[in-house]
Amino acid sequence: MDGNVALQRWILTQALGTGGSHALGAGAIAAPACTSRWLSLDGMLLRIYADAEVRPGAAWQHLQPVQDIAGASSGQAAAFHYVVETDLAPAHAQQLTDWYAQEHLPGLAAVPGTVRARRYLCVDAAMPRSFACYDLTTPDALQSAAWLAVRHTAWSSRVRPLFRNPLRTMFRLAPAAVEPSRTGSPD
């Protein structure tokens, strides 16, 4: 690997069947990676984040970091990962950016149980475009009075109806035995 190549954030999301284990193709990642692996609570969706150089043709989406805020529970282990994926009409993109930057992400980061709050934009043409990711100590944080207060502000009530195709998924740490099926070219 060229020493001047910066590692970038990538995401792989794969539906898991009920037919057993899956193996990650070693050829998908070209450089050493820092990864985190999350399994949806229903066990049907695996999501892997990697700070890596990914080989061309691999089924990964490139994410551009927009915001990264340490949470009220920073330093604690995050056993859960909550993701809100959405698209928005380009005419409303600045409204969404301002809302996340000024109110929503900082507000949810301040909720006890939130370890880290991050926002990404998908660089690829793929949809959804916006990813808001919350590392949590417990999924119960979403039902706390503090979390619900941030979700139910006047500004939130104006922005949320602008979402297109929102998808909200709660993940838990994935066991090492659960991996996506082969992606990328073999070594």
What's the pLDDT tens digit per position in 120-139?
A: 988 876 667 899 999 999 99
Q: Domain for residue 181, yes or no?
A: no
Please report, for the domain that includes residue 105, its CATH number. 3.30.70.100
Whole-angstrom Cα distance, residue 101 to residue 98?
5
CA-nearest of 61, 55, 58, 22 to 180 is 22
Helix, strand or coil, per DSSP, at residue 15: strand
Report whether 83 contacts 131 (CB < 8 A).
Answer: yes
In a domain? residue 168:
yes
**Is 80 exceeded by the pLDDT of residue 75?**
yes
In a domain, 1, yes or no: no
Task: Judge whether residue 56 has pLDDT over 70.
Answer: no
Determine, yes or no, domain membership for 180. no
3-state secondary structure of 184: coil
User: Does residue 3 sit within a domain?
Assistant: no
Asked if the model's pLDDT at residue 104 lies above 80, the reply is yes
pLDDT interval class at 48 (50, 70, 90): confident
- Distance CA(137)–CA(71), nearest Å, equals 11
**Given the DSSP bridges, would you call strands 61-70 and 114-122 parallel, antiparallel or unpaired?**
antiparallel
Per residue in 143-167, pLDDT tens? Answer: 999 999 999 999 999 999 999 999 9
Query: Does residue 182 surpass a pLDDT of 50?
Result: no
Share of the chain above pLDDT 90, in %: 49
Whether residue 186 lies inside any domain: the answer is: no
Domain contains 117: yes
Question: What is the total count of domains within the chain?
Answer: 1
Residue 5 to residue 70: CA distance in whole angstroms: 27
Top-confidence residue, 74 or 1: 74
Reported confidence tier of residue 57, pLDDT bands at 50, 70, 90: low
User: Average pLDDT for residues 28-39, to the nearest whole number?
Assistant: 64
Domain that holds residue 102: 8-173
**Residue 46 is assigned to a structural domain of this protein:** yes
The C-alpha atoms of residue 127 and residue 69 are separated, in whole angstroms, by 24
pTM for the model stands at 0.78
pLDDT recorded at residue 25? 40
H helices of the chain, in order, are: 93-99, 105-109, 145-151, 154-159
Residue 51 has pLDDT above 90, yes or no: no
